[in-house]
Every structure is written in C-alpha cells, then in structure tokens.
C-alpha cells in the first residue's frame, strides 16, 4: 500500500483562512520529507522539505514540521490567498533512497 497518506480533498477555503493539509507516512528510519505544489496544467514545484526529525521546512508562508513521534508532516499556512489554489503533494524518500513516494494529492480551492 501507499506509505504516504494525505487528507482527501478538495479543501475549499475563503481567502485569509488558516490552512492545514494532513500528511502521515510509514517508513523504516527517518526519510527526507517533501511538499510539492502543482498548479493547473503544470509540473510539480518543490514547496518545502525537511531532512531530519524536528526540522521545520518553510517557504512562501507555508510551514511543515517533521514529527517522528506521530510520523507526520502536516502542511500549514496562516492566511491563504486565491493564488494558492493548486494540488499539494506530500512525499517521502523511499527506503533505498532511489526515488520519492508520493501521496495522492490534495486539491485546495481558495475563493475571494
């Protein structure tokens, strides 16, 4: 089964609302964790990453903390904008370190 699990979308928010997208993983050890964002019709862009437990990744107002106790890497933003509307993917490095394993993605829709 998929070892990265994201909350199902779509997530629909009003502008300036608080965002949380949950992500949990199963793994042996402590793999690097990533959040990618995909805007309509485009490829994925790295949003942020964390390479070890308790690290906090941040970028463009988004944050995520590597929580080994709960095997989670939840994405948060304090005040979303319409331009944040996109699909967000959580990912972790696989055990061999040869590729990334992606969650199924969470669609975020922000309205003004």
Query: Applying CB under 8 A, which residues contact another protein?
Result: 2, 32, 34, 36, 41-46, 49, 89, 93, 97-100, 102-105
3 vs 71, beta carbon nearer another protein: 3
17 vs 27, beta carbon nearer another protein: 27
| Shortest CB 74 distance to another protein, Å | 17
| Shortest CB 7 distance to another protein, Å | 13
State how far the Cα of 10 lies from the Cα of 29, in Å rounded to an integer.
31
CB 61 within 8 A of CB 90: no
CB 67 within 8 A of CB 73: yes
State how far the Cα of 29 lies from the Cα of 106, in Å rounded to an integer.
25
| Shortest CB 91 distance to another protein, Å | 8
28 vs 97, beta carbon nearer another protein: 97
How many angstroms from the chain centroid is the CA of residue 61?
Answer: 13
Q: In angstroms, what is the C-alpha Rg of the chain? A: 13
32 vs 72, beta carbon nearer another protein: 32
Sign of the dihedral through C-alpha 73, 49, 98, 105: positive
| Shortest CB 99 distance to another protein, Å | 5
């Amino acid at each position: 089964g998929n070892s990265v699990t994201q909350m199902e979308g779509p997530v629909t928010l009003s502008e300036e609302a608080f965002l949380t997208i949950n992500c949990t993983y199963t793994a042996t050890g402590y793999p690097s964790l990533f959040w990618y964002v995909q805007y309509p019709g485009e490829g994925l862009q790295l949003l942020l990453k964390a390479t070890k437990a308790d690290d906090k990744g941040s970028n463009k107002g988004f944050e995520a903390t590597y929580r080994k106790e709960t095997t989670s890497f939840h994405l948060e933003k304090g005040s979303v904008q319409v331009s944040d509307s996109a699909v967000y993917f959580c990912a972790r490095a696989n055990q061999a370190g040869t590729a990334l394993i992606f969650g199924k993605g969470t669609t975020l829709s922000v309205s003004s």
